Amino acid sequence: MDKKALIPALGLAVLSGCSDKLPEKPNIIYLMFDDLGYGDLGCYGQELIETPNIDSLASRGVVFTDMYTNCPLSAPSRCSIVTGLHTGHSQIRHNDERVARDFEGMPDWYFDRMRADSTYEGQYALLAGTETVGTMMQKAGYKTAMIGKWGLGGPGSDGDPLKMGFDYFYGFNCQLLAHSYYPDYLWENDKRVLTRNEYMPVNRRLDPGADPYDIRSYDKFNQKDYSCDLMYDKLEAFVENNASEPFFLMWTTTVPHSTVQAPEEEVMYYVNKLHEEKTPITDGGWYYPVLYPHSAYAAMVTHIDTQVGKLVEKLKELGIYDKTLIIVTSDNGPACNSNSPMEYFKSGGPFKCTKGWGKSSLHEGGVRMPFIVALGDRLKGKAPKDTGFARTDGRVSSYVGQFVDLMPTFAELAGVDAPQNDGISFVPTLLGKKQKEHEYLYWEFPGGKGWLAVRYGSWKGIVKNVKSGSTKMALYDLAVDPQEQNNIASDHPEVVAKMWGFIKESHGEVPNHNPRFEMDITYPEK
């Protein structure tokens, strides 16, 4: 059967008003939120959370409707971004803490041990000598920085960010410690830097006898130094110090990952806007108690949006606005826990996003990401809206891509050869030119009971319970069923067979042989 007959027509948006030339070696700022949903930004349809500065970038740039993360969880998503390899080839395919993998609850000894000895801190490390987007950009003559959350190798390990191509690092090395926005220390390069906050493990609860409806009962969790502000100050200083030479900056904010925390006056703004009643969460599991979870979540996103506005003004002041490419996206879909009000905000946008359909799943709500690219005003222009999945007066692209595309894109912008990767440069899309496309996208995720997924044209195939030997694939046509509600696999056996072929050619051995990342796949009998 003709392969083209299996692929429903997608059609790229016709782009207009853009330059056919980009600046040589543009600065690159990659802002990645943590657990932000497809529908959490105004330009993607959010109606309650205010993101005027990011929406402004969208109006001057390109909004992608079909860009995907490579994994629905933090560390493996970041691994694919920095190595350019999808999860059938990448080193890290699941979260794996450096010391304690499977422990009950959040015992004090775990945090106490990390605090006393940094060798207990961090996640499973990238292998020594791994070629990354950081090393690539260094070879291209860029100054490189990672500011925010790392999660790919603890301090001093082979995967330490300073060994992975970043000239400067500031933030959380360990993603477990990033669950608090008021930490008692952060890492700056290879040294711990103390803040003015007290040590407060995230398993802490309200004081005995404290009134859960009194906002002052929560004061001990909201301390002096808000980590987002500490990071922004370092970020702006890096930009100022390197304004005369090309720089590559990964701003990997922890917002809006739980615990939800923001400065009180910003939370109260949303309390008044949303008319949120006091809804105390006193036992947040891995997270602190919170009085206004909806308002705190919204305030966090708006806080970063405000910093985006400040950064744009700084770029203009430095005279480098028109030669700085800014990308805004998220590492994976929204979480489902007591702190994350993803259903209230409709964080999944047009995609189903309840428990089991967002973060940690390979459904659209877990892997389809907001993705905005702006380069000063150079990409500004209007184009027909080819889908209803984005709302902006700027350009909209339906290019179907994955985060593995970042490495070859950055390489083309920087004028350097990329290491071996699974991506395709989307620079032609930015220029409004003919874009090479992926034949298919592939995911594997050993979390839970094991997942596989393939996108092929507008077809989406998902296999669950892979670890139990399941070969049952559900098939959806995203063009008419973006919520993945109608399994039509029995009507299209030829598409299902084609997807199993893609799975077989994509699944590879885990380079570090970590059993937590490995997943045996059973293939259907012909």
> How far apart are alpha carbons 217 and 443 in whole angstroms?
44
CA 123 to chain CA centroid, nearest Å: 17
Confidence at residue 119, expressed as pLDDT on a 0 to 100 scale: 87
- pLDDT over 70 (residue 364): yes
Token pair of 180 as six digits: 């608090």
Confidence at residue 340, expressed as pLDDT on a 0 to 100 scale: 84
The CA distances from residue 131 to 43, 84, 128, in Å, are 34, 9, 9
Give the angle subtended at the CA of 395 by the CAs of 392 and 396, to the nearest 5°: 80
What pTM, to 2 d.p., does this model score?
0.95
- Whether the CB-CB separation of 368 and 66 falls below 8 Å is answered with yes
User: 190, exposed or middle or buried, with CB in 10 Å at 0-12, 13-18, 19+?
Assistant: middle
How does pLDDT run across 461-475, given as a tens digit for each residue?
999 999 999 999 999
How does pLDDT run across 310-333, given as a tens digit for each residue?
999 999 999 999 999 999 999 999
> How far apart are alpha carbons 350 and 365 in whole angstroms?
9
Q: Which residues of 132-162 are buried (b: 16+ CB within 10 A; e: fewer)?
A: bbbbbbbebebbbbbbbbbbbbbbbbebbbb
How does pLDDT run across 262-278, given as a tens digit for each residue?
999 999 999 999 999 99
How does pLDDT run across 274-286, given as a tens digit for each residue?
999 999 999 877 8
Could you give the maximum distance between any two Cα atoms of the chain, in Å? 71
User: 225, exposed or middle or buried, with CB in 10 Å at 0-12, 13-18, 19+?
Assistant: middle
> How far apart are alpha carbons 183 and 150 in whole angstroms?
15
- pLDDT over 90 (residue 398): yes
Q: How high does pLDDT run on average in the chain? A: 92
Token pair of 317 as six digits: 């002041």
Q: Which residues of 18-38 are buried (b: 16+ CB within 10 A; e: fewer)?
A: bbeebbebbbbbbbbbbbbbb
- pLDDT over 80 (residue 11): no
